Amino acid sequence: MKYAYFPGCSLHSTAKEFDLSTRAVCKNLDIELVEIPDWICCGSTPAHTTSELLSLALPLANCTWAENNHLDVVAPCASCFSRLKIATLEVQKDADLRKKINTIIEGNFEGNTKIFHLLHLFSNGNGSAEKLKEKTKRDLSTLKVVAYYGCLLARPKEVAGVVDVENPQSMDRILNKAGLDVLDWSHKTECCGASLSITDKKVSLRLVHEIIQTAADAGADCIAVACPLCQSNLDLQQSELKNNHGHKYHLPIFYFTQLMGLALGLETNKLGLKRLIVDPRPLLKNKNIIGIEE
């Protein structure tokens, strides 16, 4: 299996560990990722709240390369994935718009390329999930986890490709195959506040607190995410929160690929565990998942 890989800006900076663990896990599961050469930023929310044309042109300038090379695109960042897929769907529906965008990007995008989020690769029945189960080397069954999807992996339905927008399952299934104890909880698809952490801290903290608290109340040791913005909101702001008893939380926020990598027995330094702000190593040592010296 070979895909055009769109890492996006976050995976080259704040979420390098997502990039690292994605590459490591894909390699292990025989999925070949070809990074789109000289890819550019998808524009994210600032683009679609500023100019519709910009929000289509930036993603499609990247997808054109993939289409010319007959590859489908995979993006691990929920926001990049969403923008790439929405842009593709929009120009599929509207030939005039497609022409307009093609003039802007000086390319010829037809809209044939498919856009996947990384989660889809492991849950679309191509055998990766089974392979993951077969190749599992570390026992993670004592690790209680909740899967947090946030907004863009669940909504809108036709973009996210979920059966139930209120209760997506793809990440739960993968974590299950990786051998974790996946708990049910109520805040799978609640919003983390996205960039409100920058523009309105108070609101952002309230939203993050609700998610962290609910996860802790459900009995989780950690939270699995598939979006760099969700990750940094839950991870960076956690130190500012206290539970009802005045205690600080200590819930590591893993990228789901890091957990897959752990299950596959990959070395911890290949998964960027050290880079997480809430250090997951004490928890993993405690559960005898990794050695004392790691």
Query: Could you say whether residue 183 binds another protein (CB under 8 A)?
Result: no
Query: Could you say whether residue 96 binds another protein (CB under 8 A)?
Result: no
Cα 251-138-290 angle, rounded to 5 deg = 55
Q: Closer to another protein at the Cβ: 97 or 216? A: 97
**Inter-CA distances, 66 with 6, 26, 225, 227, Å:** 10, 18, 26, 22
Contacts to another protein from residues 44-63, by CB under 8 A: 44-54, 57-58, 61
Tokens for 50, please give them.
Answer: 């500023």
Query: Could you say whether residue 197 binds another protein (CB under 8 A)?
Result: yes
Query: Could you say whether residue 270 binds another protein (CB under 8 A)?
Result: no
User: Shortest Cβ distance from residue 176 to another protein (Å)?
Assistant: 25
280 preceded by cis ω (within 30°)?
no
User: Shortest Cβ distance from residue 149 to another protein (Å)?
Assistant: 12
Query: Could you say whether residue 181 binds another protein (CB under 8 A)?
Result: no
DSSP state of 114: -
Residues 116-155 vs another protein: string with x where CB under 8 A?
A: -----------------------------------xx--x
Query: Could you say whether residue 269 binds another protein (CB under 8 A)?
Result: no
Q: What are residue 174's phi and psi, to 5 degrees?
A: -65, -45
Query: Could you say whether residue 165 binds another protein (CB under 8 A)?
Result: yes
CA distance linking residue 126 with residue 112, whole number of Å: 20
Q: Is 160 left (phi over 0), alpha (psi -120 to 50) or beta?
A: alpha
Query: Could you say whether residue 95 binds another protein (CB under 8 A)?
Result: no
Using an 8 Å Cβ cutoff, are 149 and 168 in contact?
yes
Positions touching another protein (CB under 8 A) are 9-10, 12-16, 38-41, 43-54, 57-58, 61, 100, 103-106, 151-152, 155-157, 165, 190-191, 193-203, 206-207, 236, 275, 277
